[in-house]
Structure 1
């Protein structure tokens, strides 16, 4: 096994080269090796300075998160101890950075006297994204070096900054071109020859002279909305406050206490669960390890509407040429104009230059002819959600597309196997369900049909990474994972309106729970006409319940489609959402027609009925093998439907509160809600089994769906 750290001496400079792919994780072996190499350099009188750098593609990706919760994380030298050792070095240490220096990797660099980097380097403290405070001195050393405003922004956002910005704020001493090792050794020699001072953070204090007395409270207020529900951001602020008033040793103790406090929270467990879930999701059962991804160099998209245009932007952003097909020139022109407008809005906000806008638009080409798609490696159909339309499109694609091209449908509910049957190459047909707005939302549901090849799956996963999506592979059923779980969630919201709740109350209860948007607001945003047409496609499955989403059907009949028509569950005036007594009156009328008794409903009931219903549906999905892991359901709902990150997704949330609690709630509403309860609140067999066995969703390995092999 390769040694984690290579020791080399160049003249008077000891060079410590980390070499533990893929990210130089600072696990116990790496920490021990760094400590030993450092001690060797300190003990050698022929060494006057030390350079720390990496032999792999990045400097260091941070702590070994796999050690969290184990004895290994505390075995000496711990990461905080190692950083403090470097900070107190009697010889100058230069950290030479390239690629990325994140988390513990940046904290190691903060413990050095000087830092240089290549211009392409990115530096950050992302611990807040897994529910933690930086725990190896980052909250204490960073503000001493760059000041409070820059430190607060970096630590509470978790976003890495480019090297140029790091140099501007004083985090880097020099940007270097060319060979990094050569530059680092020359810099170290320069320090020696000029008798440059040691720069230990133990001798520095935070400059607070320009801070207003309300600076920290003002900062809290500025991030309050986007950090609602999270614990770590506030603890990060408290740690930086401690750096302003305490000597380094005491500040480090405070940071450690805050780190341990965060580590014990459900929010940290939730965020770390999602972190690991993203990595698990790319490991798909029954895919041959020999399967290789096909090259995707040219993409075509059928439909230049809101969804098709958003999908196209993903590929243009990644530098991949895209052809957009529409049947009419007017629709094509409108779609391309909408894409340009979206880019121009980003340019006005400073997120890209006008030159970048033109570069991306140059990658987009419109066409009215299917024959122009003959050279596409991947074709994504983003047409109207109609089986007849989609089968017609795929029949045509089968005729014009080259052998080996992957044919994908953006269907959100329809049977992919039926779509694939319209071709002579079902092995090349796959579902790629983007979420609106497609250029923003991170989720990509990859639907695996009964004939979809392993190569198509592997290609889709690789492509998702290129366009920066979170991929989740799922099986074929109505609505797949996301929309199938949405169905009972929305059903209960509609029913609660008939029983006495208002749209505003339902939305308020669920946003207080943490949802990004309440269901009634979501229906209005998506379009009540869309929901109606989905229900029309499956009337046979819901005909036995005359109350099923009936208020949604009535709103559709009244032309109240939501935001697009100015009226839905709410009224909309100049983008302002207003409560509408007409909707309450409509709910009362329907309830009277159906003999539903209206009553006062507590917010707790609203949350339980909606959330427990979608959890129960998730359990059924797992039992059928439509999703491979409960964590896949969590990724879908966090990244596609606004389920709170700090709760970890619906299935993880169920594990946190106890599956027995969820089962008891479902059984309680089954008995309390009469016919509605008996119809819809039947516990999933998997949920019942896991409760009986004292197990969690996270413990359950589901069977692969029969329709995936």
Structure 2
């Protein structure tokens, strides 16, 4: 394509790097060449920068980090500075989105025109970075310190319409952005011809009454994680510099803080998590050209907490949903839950009352299966019992129309057995939602041995439509997430036998970065539910070893949050759980009954045993092909199990730590109380040993194994 085209004296430079016009080296060079050419073209009196396709620019190219292209000239900060210094007016014509570096490019222009629906933001903080091309210095000068701080610190995305009066845009339109921008560019060129000064963002004053006190208050609200200072703290430093220092000095602060973050472990983890989520959507062995089946109407079998949540999730994506329960009373309870959810959403300002009413209207109810004949997708969300699921799927097989997708929300049962209850196993798939379904981002898509390719593609398309992060798993007990969490919870219980207490274990894991420790998690899920799962697993495999204290706690009626007492006490009105003296005495007594001398257990040992239990099981899953790549396992844990996103996931953690060191730690833990069979539990996964001995990375393993 040509560098630019001239429209009656206005040069139109188009950013053209599909699909999001990210500012990788080719686009930066194109923009640089075009700016230099238009600057020397006597036929050009003004410049408009626009984006090809569906957006202005999605920002920098994160895949260039740590590659030579990322360090090659022109770099964005210097490029944008040259743009801003142009003696000819430059106007940004913004549509679709202008995120990160895309918005920073627009900030450096002399004026900005945006379509009202355009999505704008500086989300770098979500990747452990800060806007590194002048965003922290230019944005406060245009919109003020408070608005800039909220946009940069929270990393949120807003519509241009919502920011129309902020000072960010010169014009916000419902019409043609390009035409408006060209008109404005000609007007600015006429002003320049009459010796008017161009409005350069860097030259604007940045002030706010009591700005430093405001920033100090914002700083006091930030928490420092185990990994050290956060990107949010660095963003505050830069915004403070914008207020207190000249523009050039503020840019120097921004550059210094950016370089520090770009080499941090937090950025490495967050970047890995971001790229891993992208990769998870790519299923390696699907036939080319496989199309998704159309899904317009859905049905959900079971109106409990999970079933109601799934129905809400589907309705939020504007799908018609039929919710089925056995009895009217159960159906009434389900709809009460649904109405309460939407009422709370309205009260919190998340939805308008009209939108909430429209979504409730999408959900209908029934106590029979007749309406299922119209459904394109049926999701079973009944009790986790194979015989119960047999009954449901046999009935579905009889009434569902040909080509309907039959999905199970099972969290651990054999999907191939469930599929065998039908005469159409090719139409059966697992859709393992996480509770609360409308909130949790992860969706484990379980691919059965006979699941048809187009059913799998349909499931992935559905996940995208309902805003979930999908990870494809093979069939085994617990799939990826719950199979790994079993090993984690087993070690948590055995640590109690040896000398730890529940609140110590939880605190150690939470300080390390987990969203919630194992015992708080168990209380939330229900200790009675955990007891049933353990009993079923022991029935299938008597060699499994759990701490007996878990069953003692359950036998005492300490079922968790729902009972007001579990591993912790939950006093009415209290915001936090309280360690329970009754539980502590039960733990100590159980150790004595086992004949164990309780010992001091360090937080370091707690973290190592729990995290490496996940890691070792993850390597087994990878070798068995249950997960198609190591990064998929990381996505499951960062998106669904509260693993600290800035650590990237358990598999990245293992690789960064060093696989030889991981094996050495497993060896240390293999000596323990006889009843625990520690030597067997901590035996390193064969794949872990092979990679450690060969020096091969997990990424290299995946490349080698890819067909």
Q: Under a length normalisation based on structure 1, what TM-score does the superposition of the two structures give?
A: 0.96
1:563 matches 2:553: no
Q: Deviations over 1:154-206 (max 9, x none)?
A: 11221111112322211111111222222211222233345564111332231
1:642 matches 2:639: no
Query: Following the alignment from structure 1 to structure 2, what is the Cα–Cα distance between the partners of residues 149 and 349?
Result: 22
Query: Following the alignment from structure 2 to structure 1, what is the Cα–Cα distance between the partners of residues 54 and 339?
Result: 36
- Provide the secondary structure at the position in 1 that maps to 2:670: helix
Query: Following the alignment from structure 1 to structure 2, what is the Cα–Cα distance between the partners of residues 367 and 29?
Result: 57
- Provide the secondary structure at the position in 2 that maps to 1:224: coil
Q: Which residue of 2 aligns with 1:627?
A: 627
Query: Following the alignment from structure 1 to structure 2, what is the Cα–Cα distance between the partners of residues 658 and 139?
Result: 36
Q: 1:527, 1:561 within 8 Å by CA — same for their partners in 2?
A: yes
- Residues 673-682 or 485-494, more deviating: 673-682
Q: 1:410, 1:432 within 8 Å by CA — same for their partners in 2?
A: yes
Matches within 5 A, 1:86-485: 86-194=83-191, 197-208=197-208, 210-224=209-223, 231-485=230-484
Q: Which residue of 1 aligns with 2:550?
A: 552
Q: 2:227, 2:266 within 8 Å by CA — same for their partners in 1?
A: no
Q: Deviations over 1:381-434 (max 9, x none)?
A: 011100000111001000000000000000000000000000000000000000
1:695 matches 2:688: no
Compared CA separation, residues 190 and 212, structure 1 to 2 (3 A): closer
Query: Following the alignment from structure 2 to structure 1, what is the Cα–Cα distance between the partners of residues 573 and 542?
Result: 36
- CA positional deviation for 1:575: 5.0
- CA positional deviation for 1:304: 1.1
Q: Which residue of 1 aligns with 2:578?
A: 578
- CA positional deviation for 1:228: 8.3
- Residues 691-700 or 30-39, more deviating: 691-700
- CA positional deviation for 1:602: 1.1
Query: Following the alignment from structure 2 to structure 1, what is the Cα–Cα distance between the partners of residues 191 and 212?
Result: 40
Query: Following the alignment from structure 2 to structure 1, what is the Cα–Cα distance between the partners of residues 134 and 311?
Result: 43
- CA positional deviation for 1:540: 3.2
Query: Following the alignment from structure 2 to structure 1, what is the Cα–Cα distance between the partners of residues 317 and 225?
Result: 27
Query: Following the alignment from structure 1 to structure 2, what is the Cα–Cα distance between the partners of residues 360 and 426?
Result: 32
Query: Following the alignment from structure 1 to structure 2, what is the Cα–Cα distance between the partners of residues 256 and 671?
Result: 50
| Aligned residue among 2, 23, 26 for 2:23 | 26
Q: 1:561, 1:568 within 8 Å by CA — same for their partners in 2?
A: yes
Q: Deviations over 1:106-164 (max 9, x none)?
A: 11101101111111001111111221121111111111111111111111221111112
- Provide the secondary structure at the position in 1 that maps to 2:600: coil
Q: Which residue of 1 aligns with 2:589?
A: 589
- CA positional deviation for 1:6: 5.0
- Provide the secondary structure at the position in 1 that maps to 2:60: coil
Query: Following the alignment from structure 1 to structure 2, what is the Cα–Cα distance between the partners of residues 315 and 280?
Result: 24
Compared CA separation, residues 704 and 655, structure 1 to 2 (3 A): closer
Q: 2:299, 2:375 within 8 Å by CA — same for their partners in 1?
A: yes
1:612 matches 2:612: yes
Compared CA separation, residues 161 and 246, structure 1 to 2 (3 A): same
1:500 matches 2:499: yes
Query: Following the alignment from structure 1 to structure 2, what is the Cα–Cα distance between the partners of residues 227 and 25?
Result: 32
- Provide the secondary structure at the position in 1 that maps to 2:6: strand
Q: 2:527, 2:559 within 8 Å by CA — same for their partners in 1?
A: yes
- CA positional deviation for 1:674: 4.3
Q: 1:444, 1:470 within 8 Å by CA — same for their partners in 2?
A: yes
Q: 2:446, 2:474 within 8 Å by CA — same for their partners in 1?
A: yes
Q: 2:211, 2:243 within 8 Å by CA — same for their partners in 1?
A: no
- CA positional deviation for 1:586: 1.4
- CA positional deviation for 1:478: 0.6
- Provide the secondary structure at the position in 2 that maps to 1:441: coil
- CA positional deviation for 1:672: 4.3
- Provide the secondary structure at the position in 2 that maps to 1:287: coil
| C-alpha RMSD of matched pairs (Å) | 1.8
Q: Which residue of 1 aligns with 2:671?
A: 671
- CA positional deviation for 1:442: 0.2
Q: Deviations over 1:13-41 (max 9, x none)?
A: 11112222101111121111112222222
Q: Which residue of 2 aligns with 1:680?
A: 681
Query: Following the alignment from structure 1 to structure 2, what is the Cα–Cα distance between the partners of residues 340 and 44?
Result: 63
Q: 2:137, 2:202 within 8 Å by CA — same for their partners in 1?
A: no
Compared CA separation, residues 204 and 82, structure 1 to 2 (3 A): same
Q: 1:227, 1:233 within 8 Å by CA — same for their partners in 2?
A: no
Query: Following the alignment from structure 1 to structure 2, what is the Cα–Cα distance between the partners of residues 223 and 147?
Result: 21
Q: Deviations over 1:520-561 (max 9, x none)?
A: 00000000011111112222355335x613222122222211
- Provide the secondary structure at the position in 1 that maps to 2:169: coil
Alignment coverage as a number of residue pairs: 701
Q: 2:276, 2:632 within 8 Å by CA — same for their partners in 1?
A: yes
Q: 1:523, 1:562 within 8 Å by CA — same for their partners in 2?
A: yes
- Provide the secondary structure at the position in 1 that maps to 2:450: coil
1:55 matches 2:52: yes
- CA positional deviation for 1:217: 2.0
- CA positional deviation for 1:303: 0.9
1:69 matches 2:66: yes
Compared CA separation, residues 311 and 225, structure 1 to 2 (3 A): farther
Q: 1:22, 1:56 within 8 Å by CA — same for their partners in 2?
A: yes
- Provide the secondary structure at the position in 2 that maps to 1:350: coil
Q: 2:107, 2:139 within 8 Å by CA — same for their partners in 1?
A: yes
Query: Following the alignment from structure 1 to structure 2, what is the Cα–Cα distance between the partners of residues 388 and 675?
Result: 33
Q: 2:124, 2:155 within 8 Å by CA — same for their partners in 1?
A: yes
Q: 1:27, 1:73 within 8 Å by CA — same for their partners in 2?
A: yes
- CA positional deviation for 1:252: 1.6
- CA positional deviation for 1:628: 0.9
Compared CA separation, residues 51 and 703, structure 1 to 2 (3 A): closer
Q: 1:300, 1:324 within 8 Å by CA — same for their partners in 2?
A: yes
- Residues 111-120 or 33-42, more deviating: 33-42
Query: Following the alignment from structure 2 to structure 1, what is the Cα–Cα distance between the partners of residues 525 and 585?
Result: 23
- Provide the secondary structure at the position in 2 that maps to 1:95: strand
Query: Following the alignment from structure 2 to structure 1, what is the Cα–Cα distance between the partners of residues 404 and 416?
Result: 17
Compared CA separation, residues 499 and 431, structure 1 to 2 (3 A): same
Compared CA separation, residues 703 and 408, structure 1 to 2 (3 A): farther
Q: Which residue of 2 aligns with 1:656?
A: 656
Q: 1:626, 1:704 within 8 Å by CA — same for their partners in 2?
A: no
Q: Deviations over 1:585-637 (max 9, x none)?
A: 21223222222331221111111111111111111111111101111110001
Q: 1:671, 1:678 within 8 Å by CA — same for their partners in 2?
A: yes
Q: 2:302, 2:382 within 8 Å by CA — same for their partners in 1?
A: yes
Compared CA separation, residues 86 and 186, structure 1 to 2 (3 A): same
Query: Following the alignment from structure 1 to structure 2, what is the Cα–Cα distance between the partners of residues 665 and 342?
Result: 46
Query: Following the alignment from structure 1 to structure 2, what is the Cα–Cα distance between the partners of residues 475 and 527?
Result: 27
Query: Following the alignment from structure 2 to structure 1, what is the Cα–Cα distance between the partners of residues 599 and 311?
Result: 48
Query: Following the alignment from structure 1 to structure 2, what is the Cα–Cα distance between the partners of residues 478 and 382?
Result: 17
